[in-house]
Amino acid sequence: MPDGTGMIKRFYTEVVGGGNLALIDELVSEDFVDHDPMPGQSPSKDGVSFFVTTMRKAFPDLKATVMEPALVDGNLEALYVVLTGTHQGELMGVAATGRRVEFSGIDIIRIGDGKVVEHWGATDTMALMQQVGAVPE
């Protein structure tokens, strides 16, 4: 890991924002556990690809902006991220609306043997669903 927050920043900028699914094998452990999967997502390593693919199909121009400061404590990393994009594909049963969205999340990961082994997160899903018209504002 090049710096204390390289793993989580790299995931958001290169995998989520850049669509580099091949990087998941480099960053995520085979025994990975996600404690906050989205609906339909497995809590395993396979779920990471499902999450990224689902989000990028719904928002092909998805951009992740990692906000500073990111926090590091031993083998734990945490950060606040803002995601933006245009709703151009189906998302959890909601047809494309063409609307621009902006929503945020806080993520915590635990690293073991140079890979992410656990993830906890809180995403403002309500704001996202309101922006795509699935939930009234």
Longest dimension (CA), the chain: 44
Looking at domain 6-131, its CATH class is alpha beta
Q: Which H, E and C letters describe 63-114, residue by residue? A: EEEEEEEEEEECCEEEEEEEEEEECCCCECCECCCCCEEEEEEEEEEEEECC
30-63 per-position pLDDT tens digit: 999 999 999 899 999 999 999 999 999 999 999 9
pLDDT-derived band at 18 (thresholds 50, 70, 90) equals very high
pLDDT of residue 84: 98
pLDDT-derived band at 107 (thresholds 50, 70, 90) equals very high
pLDDT of residue 2: 40
Peptide bond into 69 cis (omega under 30): yes
Residue 4 has pLDDT above 70, yes or no: no
What are φ and ψ of residue 49, in 5° steps?
-65, -40
57-97 per-position pLDDT tens digit: 999 999 999 988 888 899 999 999 999 999 999 999 999 99
Where do the structural domains in the chain lie, given as residue ranges?
6-131
Residue 3 has pLDDT above 50, yes or no: no
Residue 129 has pLDDT above 90, yes or no: yes
CA distance 22 to 72: 25
pLDDT-derived band at 5 (thresholds 50, 70, 90) equals low
